[in-house]
Structure 1
Amino acid sequence: MLKLFTPNYYIHRYTALRPAFLKEQGIQLLICDIDNTLVPHDVAVPDDEAIAFLKSIQDAGIQIVFISNNVEERVATFAKGLNIPFYPFAMKPLPKTYRKMLKDFHVKRDVVAVLGDQLMTDILGANVMRFYTILTAQVVERDLSFTKVNRVFENIVFSLLKVTGKLVKGEYDE
């Protein structure tokens, strides 16, 4: 059961994710969460650092797609001008949107990675799909109210992962 919450790779910040590392893993498609993964939930557009990160991934020949449980207006505003497709109101961790992405991008699950900041949505959903999972620490500590509830359960899972030796919060792979 805890395996479903255990990422393949754990980083302190999204900028630590290198395109060469993704290529070594055979990744062709990076599914990327937005809120508190790339920017705080209350920041509408990507900053220069996020744009540079996304460009470096694309320049390596890896496709990017945004996924979010947030509403279309927020996700569309963030993605505007980036030429990156997006899937709002994805209902993570449910697999429906992930399955649609596999079909839309004509890729097999073993060439897909998911980058996100939450065990309860991003990592759980991606592990159910058997994607390569990358957990990043939150960009900021503040969260939306419903995410705060997820964080309570997430902290319980982190405690269990620590006890079993699978993952320690704040002990990163890179």
Structure 2
Amino acid sequence: MLKLFCPNYYIHSYRALTASYLKEHGITMLLCDIDNTMVAHDEPLPDRDVHTFVESMKNAGIRIVFISNNVEERVQRFVSELDVAGYSFAMKPLPKTYRRIVKDFALSKQEVAVLGDQLLTDMLGANLMGFYTILSAPVVERDLSFTKFNRFFEAIIFRLLKLSGRLTKGEFDD
């Protein structure tokens, strides 16, 4: 069961992820969480680094789609400057929105990677779908109240993952 929370790749920041790494793993689409993966939850727009990251991925032939449990207004405002698709109120870790994206873009599961900062939503949902999973450290320590609740349980899972020798929080692959 612990393997459902374990990422394939653990990085300190989305900035460490390269298109060449994704291509080496057969990935053609990267599904990115927004809040605390790309920017802090209270930053409404992508910063220069996010723009650079998205453009570099697109230029290399990697499709970028943003997927968030946040509301439509937040997601659409964020993606509007980036010329990419955004899926809001995704209800991660449930598979419904992930399935919709795979269908909308006519992809196989092996072509999709998910980048996120949470074990309980991003990693669990993506692993349940059979996607390649990439965990990043949170951009900032502050979280929304519901995320703080998740982080409590996430800390327990991190301890269990460490005890099992699968993953140690803060020991990145990059």
Q: Which residue of 2 aligns with 1:156?
A: 156
SS in 1 for 2:53: helix
Q: Which residue of 1 aligns with 2:147?
A: 147
Question: 2: CA distance between counterparts of 1:66 and 1:16?
Answer: 18
Question: 2: CA distance between counterparts of 1:64 and 1:18?
Answer: 13
Structure 2 unaligned residues grouped into runs of 5+? none
SS in 1 for 2:115: strand
Q: Which residue of 2 aligns with 1:30?
A: 30
Q: Which residue of 1 aligns with 2:12?
A: 12
SS in 2 for 1:31: strand
Q: Which residue of 1 aligns with 2:135?
A: 135
Question: How far has the Cα of 1:81 moved from its partner?
Answer: 2.3
Question: How far has the Cα of 1:80 moved from its partner?
Answer: 1.0
The alignment covers a number of residue pairs equal to: 174
SS in 2 for 1:44: coil
Question: How far has the Cα of 1:106 moved from its partner?
Answer: 0.2
Task: Name segments (4+ residues, structure 1) moved above 3 Å.
Answer: none
Q: Which residue of 2 aligns with 1:100?
A: 100
Matching residue's letter, 1:73: E
Matching residue's letter, 2:140: V
Question: How far has the Cα of 1:82 moved from its partner?
Answer: 1.1
SS in 2 for 1:98: helix
Question: 1: CA distance between counterparts of 2:57 and 2:124?
Answer: 23
Q: Which residue of 1 aligns with 2:114?
A: 114
Task: Tell whether 2:48 aligns with 1:54.
Answer: no
The TM-score normalised by the length of structure 2 is 0.99
Q: Deviations over 1:82-131 (max 9, x none)?
A: 11001000000000000000100000000100000000000000000000
Q: Deviations over 1:106-163 (max 9, x none)?
A: 0000010000000000000000000000000000000000000000000000000000
SS in 2 for 1:57: helix
Question: 2: CA distance between counterparts of 1:47 and 1:102?
Answer: 27
Question: How far has the Cα of 1:69 moved from its partner?
Answer: 0.1
Matching residue's letter, 2:124: L
Q: Which residue of 2 aligns with 1:87?
A: 87
SS in 1 for 2:146: helix
SS in 1 for 2:65: strand
Q: Which residue of 1 aligns with 2:125?
A: 125
Question: 1: CA distance between counterparts of 2:114 and 2:80?
Answer: 21
RMSD, aligned CA: 0.4
